[in-house]
Amino acid sequence: MHVSHSLLTWVAAILTIGIFSFLWKDNPFYKFCEHLFVGVSIGYGIAVTWYNGVYPDLVTPLFRQGKPLYIIPLVLGLCYFCRFIPRVSWLIRFPMAFTIGWGMGVAIPANFQTSIVKQIQGTLLTPAIFARWDVLLWAIISFVGVICTVFYFFFSREHKGALRLASQTGVVYLMVGFGASFGYTVMARMSLLIGRLQFILRDWLGVIK
């Protein structure tokens, strides 16, 4: 057993234990760690936003390279401060209008292409998949699954007859999908947990190699 001599490792280990102490019950040690996490995240976010966003994208082009066009986002950005002045708080709508309008305008065609066109392309049975029987079978199962699951979300008609059969098949796919997603998420969290336990047992306490 080789306990770490690094102060930073000790701090990290104590904070890890502080967060895990919530499994016992909500306690002052956990609350301290929680508030520390919030505070540090905010400070880190401010510094990263300044150095990776505001400084290279605004300060450099506007004040160092003298590009006057960058006054527009500066003014729009400053409008966010109006939120704290009741008399002119409505000015906050200008940066929001720009961001929302721009975001929606970019999202509509991009979303249509990636979430609809590309997904349909991926679902369709193309000649290439007929080369191998297993690929063809999985493609058919996938195709049937997509159609049936879409029918499950079709509420314009009562689910009777063929529609009922399709929607019930859709439920089967949905349940398998939800189960698989759940299992995948649990394992991702488990991997984080194993990472923390490894840190405590290996890096801090030196119990394992």
Applying the rule CB under 8 A, the residues between 145 and 184 that interact with other proteins are 145-146, 149-150, 152-153, 170-184
Nearest CB to other proteins, comparing residues 94 and 163: 94
Q: How many residues bind other proteins (CB under 8 A)?
A: 112
The dihedral through the CA atoms of 34, 38, 43, 49 has a sign that is: positive
Which position among 2, 3, 27, 35 is part of the footprint of other proteins (CB under 8 A)?
A: 35
Q: How far is the CB of 209 from other proteins (least distance, A)?
A: 18
Distance from C-alpha of 76 to C-alpha of 100, rounded to nearest angstrom: 13
User: Of 85-104, which residues contact other proteins (CB under 8 A)?
Assistant: 89-90, 93-104
Which position among 84, 133, 155, 156 is part of the footprint of other proteins (CB under 8 A)?
A: 84
User: Of 101-120, which residues contact other proteins (CB under 8 A)?
Assistant: 101-112, 115-116, 119
Q: How far is the CB of 113 from other proteins (least distance, A)?
A: 8
Distance from C-alpha of 76 to C-alpha of 107, rounded to nearest angstrom: 21
Q: Residue 204 contacts by C-beta under 8 Å, 6 or more apart in sequence?
A: 3, 4, 9, 10, 12, 13
First to last CA, the chain: 10
Q: Do 21 and 27 contact (CB within 8 A), yes or no?
A: yes
